[in-house]
Amino acid sequence: MLLSLAIWVPIIGALAVLVTGRDRDPTLTRWIALIASIAGFLVTIPLVTEFDTSSAALQFVEKFAWIPRYGIHYHLGVDGISVWFVLLNSLMTIFVVVAGWYVIEDKQAQYYGAFLIMSGLINGAFAAADAALFYVFFEAMLIPMYLIIGIWGGPNRVYAAVKFFLYTLLGSLLMLVALIYLYNVSGGSFEISQYHKVPLAMGVQILLFIAFFLAFAVKVPMWPVHTWLPDAHVEAPTGGSVILAAITLKLGAYGFLRFMLPIVPDASRHLAPLVIVLSLIAIVYIGFVALVQTDMKKLVAYSSISHMGFVTLGFFLFTANGDASALGIEGGLLQMISHGFVSGAMFLCIGVLYDRLHSRNIADYGGVVNTMPRFAALMMLFAMANAGLPGTSGFIGEFTVTLAAVKQGMFWTAAAAGLTLVLGAAYTLWMYKRVIFGDVANDNVRALTDVTAREFWMLAALAILVLAMGLYPAPFTEIMQKSVHELVVHVAKSKL
Amino acid sequence: MKFSYLIVPFAPLAGALLAGLFGRTIGRAGAHTVTILGVLVSFIASVVVALDVFGNGTTFNGPLYTWMVAGGVRFEIGFLIDKLTVTMMLVVAFVSLMVHVYTIGYMADDPGYQRFFSYISLFTFSMLMLVMSNNFLQLFFGWEAVGLVSYLLIGFWFKRPTAIYANLKAFLVNRVGDLGFLLGIGLVLAYTGSLDYETVFDKAAGLKDIAVDLGWLGAPMWATATCILLFIGAMGKSAQVPLHVWLPDSMEGPTPISALIHAATMVTAGIFMVSRMSPLFEMSTTALSFVLVIGATTALFMGFLGIIQYDIKRVVAYSTLSQLGYMTVALGVSAYSAAMFHLVTHAFFKALLFLAAGSVIIGMHHNQDIRWMGGVRKHMPITWMTSLIGSLALIGFPFLSGFYSKDSIILAVGASKIPGATYALVAVTLGVFVTAFYSFRMYFLVFHGNERYDQAPHDDHHDDHGHHGDGKPHESPWVVTLPLVLLAVPSVALGAATLGFFIIDNGYAGAITVAPANDTLGAIRGGLHDWWAMGLHGFVTLPFWLAMAGVLLAWYLYVINPALPVKLRAQFGGLVRILEEKYYFDRFNEFFFAGGARRLGEGLFRFGDRAVIDGAIVNGSAKGVGLLSSLVRHVQTGYIYHYAFVMVAGLMVFLGWLLLRN
């Protein structure tokens, strides 16, 4: 019941917003949207507080026949891997609503409606235990995001929206083929857990791996299928960027754990070097690319790709004997959660500046600290988290994954990934220096006003989350560990 | 876990949070009151803990809380309280307290007053957590946290382009070292399965003959690889060649933090860390030799750079680099106790020299160029006397604190037989002359000779306070001079008082491990009786005469015959240029690393992302589809006779094929 609430409360809220929406007086719309997003978050809290950490199985399971003819079920359940993302998604939706409060002046009802619907759909994708149901949610969420970018986006929004849509659709169509194949070989079932068990020959596994990999790698995104992300971010409104970076990227990485590793473990082991190399390219190559960006949003978008490289790296750290790394997988998951907070916060910070100067160009700023000291302090924290400073959440994932790589006997992989210590600090703090530090650069900066109460509390709340997770990540891993352990054991067994 | 252990780090944290978050509410006086109170409480608690540890031999090793359990590895936050820790706690808390008090005077007119106090208290907390750690995780936490505060404080005057350049540089160079450090921690975890010091040291003994496969780097011993990687971290933080480049630039920060962070405490974190890791370093002579050569190079060659500097703070900064080199040399010859000894005495006399330099800077209305000083002793007697004491301690004048620690290091190097020891002995002995020369060059230029401060070109951008009075310097207020006096006392007496503990009685037995073959301090211990005998003997040793030669030369060049240095500078233009360019490290880094990274990023972005992926593949396939459809479109003309023609032609081809096939 809880999971259904997590899906449908925001969607029903969205309907309420759309029905009552008036363009002339958006106050009611905003408040309904806020209440719906808060309610949507509140119903997910018991998922963690009542989570049974001694079990690796799916919990809070709901199962009803949906299309009996094809064995498709409305089957929901979360385990230690997926549960945090339902919470993260529901939480970030609140920030999106607050961030858009006075900023969105056009079609507010549709704006909030799209986000609330997307929130429900994303929860559905994370909670789906049925492959067909997963696919429906996975694809359906493209629509609100497409609309958000295409309607409320920047000047080049149509190109970005189409690029985003086609890129992701192309990958996921291959996944559909893979799922139908699995449906056939598993004797007519769409249960993901059935797919985990079905034996598959190596050739088939490789093909399935490629199909899934394309679908999820585009979403993460991994190099070289990443170029939609900077465009999408640059054109998307602040809220769109927040959800895109904080949540939808995570779905790709989640797919690696839910589909690829357990369904095609032998192919995963076999092709792990490929994923590792692509991850390292994402971390290092994209780190250099981020360094030279002149647009703040593009810079943070590239830094997202680089950070997500740690996630995919952590998932595929197999030893020479073929053992997956629990440390690496947990590190990847922690990196996903943290990146949700940190990238969300970075985009909100850029949004705060953009709302004032209507520019994302680094060169248009300089010396912002003189006029916006409170904002500068908050952004310093997020910049440091983005640079992976210990004590912030940004540190945990990178630290754990790097350690895991050394532990798995891959010293040079760790060394290459570790370059992010320097690169991440370089691109983030160099941007911070040019935007925030220095003397007041121009009259626009001189006229800036510091954060309003709304903006302050929005960022302060994220700051607290970033620090709390950085100082005490134990609760996160406590919930994950059983499921991750189970996954590692499962992946170690051959399905040939 | 004793309550006092918690008080030590968390009292400064409380002060930092209060001053940082509520600075506007509690005001200036409120901010300095809460932070000084916090550090004072921390210092008192440190003394209480120290009395317990030194008096009763108490040690403590236990967790505070479990940070995380991941992949079967337990990451904990906890404390290890032993003599080594307590030494650092006392140094950090005391110097921090002095600097807090001093700051009231130094930063009196600064608009960022509360922020500054918040930062230095936060630094104190971070540094204490670093030294009190009982595991690598927390060590790394503290390691990076002090780096963060250093970054914030170097860039404290964020309007100055030089300051925000220097702080970014400091952070990034330190991050290079941290990469090595992180990989070293990775090797520790990979082979011992733990990050807890005690467990690691226990298990390390069994890893003596284990090699690590490092691909193209071959397969060094585990201990060698781990220790060199950990030491690379220390090279960043403790500013050893070639990762020293950030420290001179860090002088852009306000003087109190130059004393606290960039002389007395943070930069010695690397020295402390290696001492703490002595059980690991003792397993690898290769690693120790590496440490030794890096340290010796830093000790001598950074000293040379101090000779030609004109900025009062930069002279002291290069002196710090050189002295850190001495400490590192001591580590290299397994004289960890001597390194810690020099760390402690240096913390006091170098903090003194920095704060005295700051006092001079206040007196000079924020002019920092020693060419435009001179004769200051008459106007600032306390600053003058304390500077003289600090300088004498620095050059190792017998009976002063620096003498005992530095001579112990030189003796230990002489007793060492590991590869590189001869080079190191030459470097540290010559270094004594260099140290004396640059120290007293500065001393004479500032405090003796003609008063030149009215000749200064008046374009100094350093003047944030803008009060040009009568031009004559005045002695600084008591909040500035009191710390100077309080630091001068240990600068004089601490060496003699603690020689017994550090060297003669081997007080760190149990906290520091030395392999019998490497025990250089053990070898020299027989020749040392007590502080009195060592002090007296100090007058007849080579280092003493080298130091005197340095002082006399400085006296001759800068008091008796001030025209000569100008001539010499012109004479040896090429050599001076190399020194002025700081051996071209900065230019190389700027061109190769900073510029190279930007060029590489630009290239990857323009060519990789834009041209190949987006241009050729993504938009290319879109264009391809468009092209294909524009071709196919010609087929669909809409004219019925076209379609009829194609149908008839097709039918004929088909029929023809059927007929011919038979």
Report the C-alpha dihedral over residues B387, B389, B393, B394, rounded to 10 degrees.
10
Least confident of A85-94, B439-448, B652-661: B652-661
Q: Enumerate the H helices of B246-380 as residue ranges.
A: 246-249, 255-259, 269-276, 278-281, 285-307, 312-332, 336-363
Higher model confidence: residue A320 or residue A490?
A490
**pLDDT attached to residue B595:** 85
Give the pLDDT confidence score for residue B409 in this predicted structure: 94
What local confidence, expressed as pLDDT, does residue A23 receive? 67
**How many cross-chain Cβ pairs, A to B, lie less than 8 Å apart?**
152
CA-based nearest distance B292→chain A, Å: 25
Please state, in angstroms and rounded to a whole number, the distance separating the CA atoms of residues B443 and B447: 6
Query: Average pLDDT, stretch B90-98?
Result: 94
Partner-chain contact B70 A290, CB within 8 Å: no
Q: What is the pLDDT of residue B57?
A: 87
Whether A313 shows a pLDDT value over 90: the answer reads yes
CA distances from A137 to A97, A126, A209 (A): 22, 9, 21
Please state the rounded mean pLDDT for residues A298-307: 94
What pLDDT, on a 0 to 100 scale, did the predictor assign at position B458?
60
Q: Token pair for residue B141?
A: 């936490």
Residue A277 to residue B583: CA distance in whole angstroms: 38
Cα–Cα distance for residue pair B271/B250, rounded to 1 Å: 19
Helix (H) or strand (E) segment spanning residue B81: strand B73-81
- Using alpha carbons only, give the angle B371, B376, B382 rounded to the nearest 5 degrees: 135
The residue type found at B199 is T
Mean pLDDT taken over chain A: 91
Q: Which two tokens stand for residue B51?
A: 């009395």
Q: What are phi and psi of B312, to 5 degrees?
A: -55, -40
| Cβ contact, residue pair B598, A439, below 8 Å | no
> B69–A481: do the CB atoms touch at under 8 Å?
yes
For position B620, what pLDDT does the model report? 77
Q: Provide the pLDDT confidence category of residue B174 given band limits of 50, 70 and 90.
A: very high
Question: Residue B137: CB partners within 8 Å, gap ≥ 6?
Answer: B67, B75, B76, B77, B185, B195
Q: What is the ipTM of this complex?
A: 0.92
Query: The pTM is what?
Result: 0.91
Give the Cα separation of B424 and B294 in Å (integer).
9
Mean pLDDT of chain B: 89
What does the pLDDT average to over A218-235? 88
pLDDT band at A331 (very low <50, low <70, confident <90, very high): very high
Query: Which residues on neighbouring strands pair with residue A62, listed in sequence order?
Result: A76
Cβ contact, residue pair A227, B613, below 8 Å: yes
User: Using CA atoms, how far apart are residues A362 and A344, in angstroms rounded to an integer?
Assistant: 19
The Cα–Cα gap between B83 and B512 comes to 10
Q: Mutate which of A159, A378, A411, A477 to test chain B, going by most B C-beta atoms within 10 A?
A: A411
The answer, yes or no, to whether residue B466 has pLDDT greater than 70, is no
Mean pLDDT, range A114-142, rounded to an integer: 92
Residue with tokens 């510091």: A450
- HSE-up of B215 (CA within 13 Å, CB side)? 9
**CA pair distance B149, B126, nearest whole angstrom:** 9
Q: Closest Cα of chain A to B33: distance in Å?
A: 23
Chain B: residue nearest A400 by CA? B70
- Check pLDDT > 50 for residue B467: no
pLDDT at B463 over 60: no
Mean pLDDT of B540-563: 91
Say how far residue B1 (Cα) sits from the centre of its chain. 31
- Say what the pLDDT of residue B232 is: 95
Distance of CA B612 to the CA centre of its chain: 43
Residue B328 structure tokens: 């590192």
Question: Could you give the maximum distance between any two Cα atoms of chain A, in Å?
Answer: 69
Distance, CA of B602 to CA of B607 (rounded, Å): 8
- CB contact (8 A) between residue B215 and residue A412: yes
- Chain A residues with CB-CB distance to B70 below 8 A: 326-327, 330-331, 334, 400, 477, 481
The encoded tokens of residue B119 equal: 């930062």
Cα separations (Å) of A104 from A98, A108, A151, B180, B532?
11, 6, 11, 47, 79
- Spacing of C-alpha A367 from chain mean position: 31
Cis peptide bond N-terminal to B381, omega within 30: no
Query: Cα(A151)–Cα(A253) distance, rounded to whole angstroms?
Result: 28
Identify which of B145, B178, B185 has the shortest CB distance to residue A391. Answer: B145
Task: Work out the percent of chain B whose per-residue pLDDT is above 70.
Answer: 97
Distance CA B419, CA B425 (A): 11
Instruction: Calculate ∠ Cα A26-A28-A33, nearest 5°.
Output: 95
Q: Which residues of A318-353 are buried (b: 16+ CB within 10 A; e: fewer)?
A: beeeeebbbbbbbbbbbbbbbbbbbbbbbbbbbbbb
Q: Please say if the pLDDT value at position B368 is more than 70.
A: yes
- pLDDT at residue A322 is higher than 80: no
Contacts of A330 in chain B (CB under 8 A): 70-71
**Between B161, B601, B617, which is nearest A292 by CB?**
B601
**What pairs with residue A67 in β-bridges?**
A72
pLDDT per residue as tens digits for the range B268-326: 999 999 999 999 999 999 999 999 999 999 999 999 998 888 899 999 999 999 999 99
Residue type, position B210, single letter? I
At residue A173, the 3 state secondary structure works out as helix
CB–CB contact A384 B65 (8 Å) = no
- Structure token digits, residue B213: 């496969």
Q: Is B616 on the interface with A (CB under 8 A)?
A: no
In this predicted structure, what is the pLDDT of residue B461? 47
Residue B327 has pLDDT above 50, yes or no: yes
Q: What SS3 state is found at A44?
A: coil
pLDDT over threshold 90, residue B457 = no
Residues B521 and B337: beta-carbon distance below 8 Å? yes
Give the number of other Cβ atoms within 10 Å of residue A202's Cβ.
14
